[in-house]
Amino acid sequence: MSQYPPAQGTPVPEPSVRVLPVVDGAQPERADAARNRARLLEAASRLVAEHGAGHVTMEAVAAAASVGKGTVFRRFGDRAGLMRALLDHAEQEYQKAFLFGPAPLGPGAPAAERLEAFGIATLRHLETYVDLYLASERCPTRRYSFPARAVQATHVAALLRQAGVTGDVELLTQALLGYLDAGLVNHLRTVRRLPAERVEAGWKDLVARVVREGH
Amino acid sequence: MSQYPPAQGTPVPEPSVRVLPVVDGAQPERADAARNRARLLEAASRLVAEHGAGHVTMEAVAAAASVGKGTVFRRFGDRAGLMRALLDHAEQEYQKAFLFGPAPLGPGAPAAERLEAFGIATLRHLETYVDLYLASERCPTRRYSFPARAVQATHVAALLRQAGVTGDVELLTQALLGYLDAGLVNHLRTVRRLPAERVEAGWKDLVARVVREGH
DNA sequence: AATGAAAGTGGACCAGAGTCCGTTTGACGT
DNA sequence: ACGTCAAACGGACTCTGGTCCACTTTCATT
């Protein structure tokens, strides 16, 4: 078994260059810090691939990286932070795709179509990374305040407005994103055994209903 | 401070007589077991009222009830189970209201109106019990498989069908329930500081869009 | 009332997340 | 090269959820 994100080229995400917000006015990391971050991400990624995100302990990651446990927490804050760091690279690709990629996902297509495509892309992205998302959501309430979620929300809200939707766009956005929640999708796919196509069709239907004209 | 569920009459929920499913073919509890369950619920309820659901440890509950820690887990399975038990009484009232209560929440009103009322009732119910719901959702994936959720889902699906909605009613149900998720509502109300009226209006809007005719 | 087995009990125990703090190290000015 | 010190380190420690199991209690039966 290899790295977790099944990508080949770049083995491990860097200190992160976010697609949208984040003004990192921080000075560069010290050499040992950078080295340990890399080691940790590599080790974590390998362990997650081997045992699944849910069965990897922080201690194990530290040991596999030949680093003290304290260092793991210093670098990533907490378990969820480490998991998010593992997602970072894939998430940036995903964000790039819907922000700047080719239509209909990226700019160029009518808003309603982009919205459809956005959901499908998200569902497929989740298909690969659900367990990582679930593991990165341990925090009960902060699930909704992450940068990644903010990017999604901004995007969906913009598309809704472009599509001429009137009403409380912000709340409609939350409703739509609710359907793309990792926990829900996981439940539908894993517990309820719904085929991916059906869940995707469900998204298209939902979007159609929300966007439909006659405000 | 008094009991957690701000009700007056019945101080503490009983072994539970579920409104909907659950075929409890179990024999009655032994006397000591029943006594300890009552003690535990009383203690838990008091501690939650004092410190908030998030700051109550299982050990503390056991101690406050003068009972061994093992007993707490034997009675309620885990932390989430205990929290659910605390919710039991209020949840049954809430279920009774939308299943059998007066219109427009209960039977009698047109389905679309009932659906609106259902959301409002749920949001108000959450208003009082969010922290308990959040605490009872620790389990990452099982959030969607609880009896209470199943009752809600069945109800919403039935109303959608009655309202003449065509399409994948099951998935639309999940989408609608997503808007009523404790975590989301908590975020909207607490972090984003949206007034309850706005969140309620958002529900009405969402329902209108989903139910709107011309399938 | 005695009895035996099923149900229940409680606290020692374990595992894993997260904190603390004394020690080490690397970047930088001299 | 060397001194300085903020940053980084690592592992012992704490805290809490959850398990285990030797012992006790209940209660149906006799």
Chain A residues touching residue B145 (CB < 8 angstroms): 187, 191
> Any alpha helices (H) in chain A, and if so which ranges?
31-51, 58-64, 69-76, 79-100, 111-135, 147-162, 169-179, 182-186, 196-211
Write down the residue that tokens 């503490």 correspond to.
B12
State whether residue B131 is helix, strand or coil: helix
Which tokens hold the place of B199?
């969140």
Q: How many C-beta neighbours within 10 Å does residue A205 have?
A: 18
Number of helices and strands (H, E) in chain B?
9, 0
pLDDT of B26 over the 80 cut? no
Residue of A nearest to B211 (CA): A209
Phi first, then psi: what are they for A6, rounded to 5°? -65, 20
Closest residue (Cα, C1') to D27: B30
Give residues 14-53 of chain B lying near strand D (Cβ < 7 A).
30-32
Which tokens hold the place of B147?
């009896």
Residue of B nearest to A167 (CA): B205
Reported as a single tens digit per residue, the pLDDT across B53-93 is: 999 999 999 999 999 999 999 999 999 999 999 999 999 99
Displacement of CA A31 from its chain's centroid (Å): 28
A84-120 burial string, b = 16+ CB within 10 Å, else e?
bbbbbbbbbebbebbeebeebbbeeeebbbbbbbbbb
pLDDT of B35 over the 50 cut? yes
Most B CBs within 10 A among A141, A143, A215, hence the mutation to make, goes to: A141
A199 touches chain B (CB under 8 A): yes
A181 touches chain B (CB under 8 A): yes
Note the pLDDT of residue A5. Answer: 40
CATH for the stretch A31-77? 1.10.10.60
Q: What residue segments make up the domains of chain B, in order of their start?
A: 31-77, 80-211
**By CB neighbour count within 10 A (0-12 exposed, 13-18 middle, 19+ buried), where does A42 fall?**
middle
**CB proximity A64–strand C (7 Å threshold):** no
Write down the residue that tokens 């820690």 correspond to.
B69
State whether residue B138 is helix, strand or coil: coil
Reported as a single tens digit per residue, the pLDDT across A95-114 is: 999 999 998 999 999 999 99
Q: How confident is the model at residue B15 (pLDDT cuts 50, 70, 90)?
A: very low
- CATH 3.30.750 matches A80-211: no
Note the pLDDT of residue A25. Answer: 52
Which tokens hold the place of B67?
């009972």
pLDDT of A16 over the 70 cut? no
Which amino acid does the sequence have at B151?
V
